[in-house]
Structure 1
Amino acid sequence: MRVVEDGTITSVATREHIAAAAISRRLSDLEEALGTPLLVRTNKGITPTAAGINLSVMARDVLDDLQNIVTRMREFSDGTRGLVRLLVNISAVSTFIPPLVKSFGERYPDVQFRLMERDSLSITEGIAENLADIGVFTSLPYSADIEVYPFRHDELKVLVREDHPLAARESVTFSEVLDYEHVVLRTGTHLRLRMLTAAGQAGKLLRSRVEVASYDVLCKMVECGVGIGVLPAGIVEIYALSGTRTLALEDSWASRELSVCVRRVDALSPVARLFFDHLRASR
């Protein structure tokens, strides 16, 4: 290709620091291997044959493709391309995580996400087992061998209809709301377990009329008057609910911390490390 572009073997040999005879021999070997002449040699230089011209064009395309491969691979190494695997609990996936994925995706459009919703304890275990790169969970005791970092503060509220007996209150204790029917999250979530524990400590039962799998359904059920609900403050702000009120929950456990966990920060892939830093910077 360089010989075709320069028109002489001698100039290429000088620039590339290769003997002219060695270049000539390689060209002859290539012509023999391909079974067709590539160059017409004269005392004034060389002229490519039709086959030589086509081979030069194809060689340039191959080199360009190789450069593109190198560029794409470097994008993986510097984190601008790749896959981030996330394990996130229902509270975080319903509030904090979507806008962070959006803002990160706007900056790195070639990064893909695989997001799996799990309960908090399963998240810590899943990260330790390398089922995902990063986990976001409600802080709780865990035994998994992982690294944990602060993420966000979360407050629980009580959602009631405006015609509910508690609606005139600004705040209530959990013991008081146990006197009414609840709409609750599915079994296994950290919030459901915490509510059951608090109910036992108060010597009362958690009366649940309906069990749901998501906060949006919980909100709609409360809006329709099926029962009352306990949920993170940020959830209520997302949905356009009519005829409802949120009350502060006075119990100390209503103030919660969300955490980010990884197996080891220094073992994260470049793209996962970029998203981990994005999560931490958003605090």
Structure 2
Amino acid sequence: MKLDPVSLKLFVRVVDEGTIAGAAELEHIAAPAVSKRLRELEEVFGTPLLTRTNKGIAPTAAGVNLSILARDVLDDLRNIALQMKAYSDGLRGSVRVLVNISAISTFMPPIVKSFSERYPDVNISLLERDSLAITESVAENVAEIGVFTRLPRSADIEVHPFRTDELKVLVPSAHSLAKRRHVTFSETLDYEHVVLRAGTHLRFQMMTEASKAGKTLRAKVQVSSYDALSRMVQVGMGVGILPASNADLYRLPGTRVLKLDETWAKRELVVCVRRADASDRVIERLFGET
């Protein structure tokens, strides 16, 4: 048995209006076409559904029951359409966001909070990854969105500006550099460093710049977060380099923040999506109002 929602809708309309002509006018369809669909419904169910008189049309007992059932079906179909439209409009669903270590604890929390308040039916999966891994994962459709420090890349992704940040030098208050307001990276290389784990863009950049300066990056302690880096600097395990936003977030007693006098200290954070997903509405709503 094949039931056509359009025919059910026309049947309900005829029952409500009491005439085929009235239903046809409201539904913007020719009266003969309405009559044809009603006959097809009666053939499908094998029983009369309407009684035709000179005063109009009235439902039979079967027609009354069908009218009740059809209204429920049509309501369910409308609800399905509304819920599916919520997905296409970015009002419902889920989104996977990969974020580098610099942004996940600083810029992202207020963005996620604001988005969740406006769109409570969209679930966000926020995961920390290294910048290079983010570009590759988004290009390979492992995640819909990535936030990373701008770097040379080969991944086929679309990139948009997000935030700017600046690298700073964190030192213990008793350190010999603590009286300075700004230092060069080469000067910090005379001391032991607390560094991020291998694989991060900042760690790679520090090693590259150390090599250019003809010096070695002396990594005393390796950590996996800027919070841990700040704590290690606080207890005197070395100096550390971290973004200003993280330095402000994790500023601890017994430490000082110095300006890093290097052109590469200025950094740009970007948002990336696959080219095919650049117009996705969830993405627009997550970052479009930031």
Q: Report the TM-score range of the alignment, normalised by the length of the smaller protein.
A: 0.7 to 0.9
Match of 2:43 in 1: 29
CA distance in 2, matches of 1:199, 1:24: 83
TM-score normalised by the chain length of structure 1: 0.81
TM-score normalised by the chain length of structure 2: 0.79
Identity of matched residues, %: 59
Match of 2:75 in 1: 64
Deviation at 1:192, TM superposition (A): 0.5
Match of 2:170 in 1: 159
What are the residue-to-residue correspondences of 1:238-249 with 2, within 5 Å?
238-239=249-250, 241-249=252-260
CA distance in 2, matches of 1:201, 1:91: 24
Quick check: 2:195–2:203 contact (8 Å CA) kept in 1? Answer: yes
Relative distance call for 1:39 and 1:218 in structure 2 (3 A) is same
What are the residue-to-residue correspondences of 1:1-283 with 2, within 5 Å?
1-6=12-17, 12=23, 17-19=30-32, 22=36, 25-26=39-40, 28-29=42-43, 31-32=45-46, 46=58, 49=61, 53-239=64-250, 241-264=252-275, 267-276=278-287, 278=288, 282=290
Quick check: 1:83–1:272 contact (8 Å CA) kept in 2? Answer: no
Deviation at 1:3, TM superposition (A): 4.8
CA distance in 2, matches of 1:139, 1:24: 64
Aligned length: 275
Deviation at 1:124, TM superposition (A): 2.4
CA distance in 2, matches of 1:187, 1:23: 70
Deviation at 1:26, TM superposition (A): 4.3
Deviation at 1:63, TM superposition (A): 0.8
Q: For residue 263 of structure 2, what is the amino acid of its counterpart?
A: S
Relative distance call for 1:66 and 1:168 in structure 2 (3 A) is same
Quick check: 2:21–2:31 contact (8 Å CA) kept in 1? Answer: no
Higher relative contact order (CA 8 A, sep 6+): 1
Relative distance call for 1:143 and 1:6 in structure 2 (3 A) is closer
Q: Helix, strand or coil: the match of 2:258?
A: strand
CA distance in 1, matches of 2:210, 2:80: 60
Structure 1, unaligned stretches of length 5 or more? none
CA RMSD of aligned residues (A): 3.0
Quick check: 2:158–2:278 contact (8 Å CA) kept in 1? Answer: no
Structure 2, unaligned stretches of length 5 or more? 1-11
